[in-house]
Structure 1
Amino acid sequence: MTDPTTLFSRSFGHGPRTVLALHCTIAHSGAWRGVATAMEDEITLRAPDMFSHGRSPDWDETDDFPDLMNRAIGHLLDRPADVVGHSFGALLALRLAVERPHLVRSLTLIEPVFFAIAMQDAPEDIAHERETMRPVNAALAAGDRALAARLFNRAWGDGATRWPALRQETRAAMTRGIHVLPASHAAIYDDRAGLLRPGRLPSLNMPVMLLRGGKSASIMTTVVAGLARRIPHSETRVVEGAGHMLPITHPKDTASHLRRQFARGAEPPRA
Structure 2
Amino acid sequence: MNDAVAAGAPQDALADFLAVWGMPSDSGPSTLPDPSLDARRLRQLSIAMAVNDVLVHDSANILRAGGLEGIDAPVLIVMGEKSPVAIGKIADALAERMQDVGRASVPDAGHMLPITHPAEVAGLIAVNLERA
Q: Same fold (TM over 0.5)?
A: yes
Q: Runs of 5+ in structure 1 lacking a partner? A: 1-135, 266-271
Q: Cα distance, 1:143 vs. partner? A: 4.4
Deviations 1:38-71 (A, max 9, x none): xxxxxxxxxxxxxxxxxxxxxxxxxxxxxxxxxx
- 1:171 alignment partner, one of 38, 46, 51: 38
| 1:184 counterpart SS class | helix
Structure 1 residues 179 and 247, CA, compared in 2 at 3 Å: closer, same or farther?
Answer: closer
Between Structure 1 and Structure 2, the one with more strand by share is: 1
Amino acid at match of 1:248: I
Amino acid at match of 2:93: G
- 2:125 alignment partner, one of 258, 262, 266: 258
1:26-37 correspondence to structure 2 within 5 Å: none
Q: Runs of 5+ in structure 2 lacking a partner? A: none
TM-score, normalising length: structure 1: 0.43
- 2:78 alignment partner, one of 179, 197, 211: 211
Q: 2:29 & 2:68 partners in 1: Cα distance?
A: 42
Deviations 1:130-164 (A, max 9, x none): xxxxxx22113434323212221232242288227
Q: Cα distance, 1:211 vs. partner? A: 0.5
- Residue 4 of structure 1: aligned partner: none
Q: 1:146 & 1:253 partners in 2: Cα distance?
A: 29
Whether the 8 Å contact between 2:18 and 2:29 is mirrored in structure 1 is no
Q: Cα distance, 1:186 vs. partner? A: 2.0
RMSD: 2.4
TM-score, normalising length: structure 2: 0.82
- Residue 35 of structure 1: aligned partner: none
1:85-164 correspondence to structure 2 within 5 Å: 136-159=1-24, 162-163=27-28
Q: Cα distance, 1:223 vs. partner? A: 0.9
Q: Cα distance, 1:188 vs. partner? A: 0.8
Deviations 1:13-45 (A, max 9, x none): xxxxxxxxxxxxxxxxxxxxxxxxxxxxxxxxx
- Residue 232 of structure 1: aligned partner: 99
Q: Does 1:194 align with 2:61?
A: yes
Q: 2:25 & 2:10 partners in 1: Cα distance?
A: 21
> Computing the radius of gyration over CA atoms, which structure comes out larger, 1 or 2?
1
Between Structure 1 and Structure 2, the one with more helix by share is: 2
Amino acid at match of 1:207: P
Q: 1:165 & 1:223 partners in 2: Cα distance?
A: 28
Q: Percent identity?
A: 31
- 1:221 alignment partner, one of 75, 88, 109: 88
Whether the 8 Å contact between 2:19 and 2:25 is mirrored in structure 1 is no
Q: Cα distance, 1:226 vs. partner? A: 0.9
Structure 1 runs of 4+ with >6 Å offset: none
